[in-house]
Amino acid sequence: MPFDKLYLKLKCNVCNGTRLHNHGHHDPFQPERWKSCPYCDPNGHTVIEATPDLIAQFLHNTDDLTKERILSKLADIAQKETS
């Protein structure tokens, strides 16, 4: 993964985080095993790229207190980089 992008870890939208693909049918070749979702990690999460539009939409929809906290953290980071 590139280091200049922001990624989000979300609950898988295919299996809804349950890891059971196709409602948990058994694998016919290995009947003791369940078919697991091929789209997510063992915790039931997928990773997607956060686009600048998505980040802006998130900031627009958050409450003022959260916006203030995010902006103060950004100001702290900017101040540390200039020091």
In terms of pTM, does the model score above 0.85? no
H or E stretch at 30? strand 30-34
Per residue of the chain (83 residues), give pLDDT as tens.
556 778 888 998 888 888 776 655 556 676 666 667 888 888 889 998 888 888 889 889 999 999 999 999 989 988 988 87
Residue 37 CB neighbours (<10 A): 20
Number of domains within the chain: 2
Segments forming the whole domain that contains residue 57:
51-83
Going along the chain, which residue ranges are E strands? 6-11, 26-27, 30-34, 45-50
Question: 44 and 57: one domain?
Answer: no
Question: 43 and 73: one domain?
Answer: no
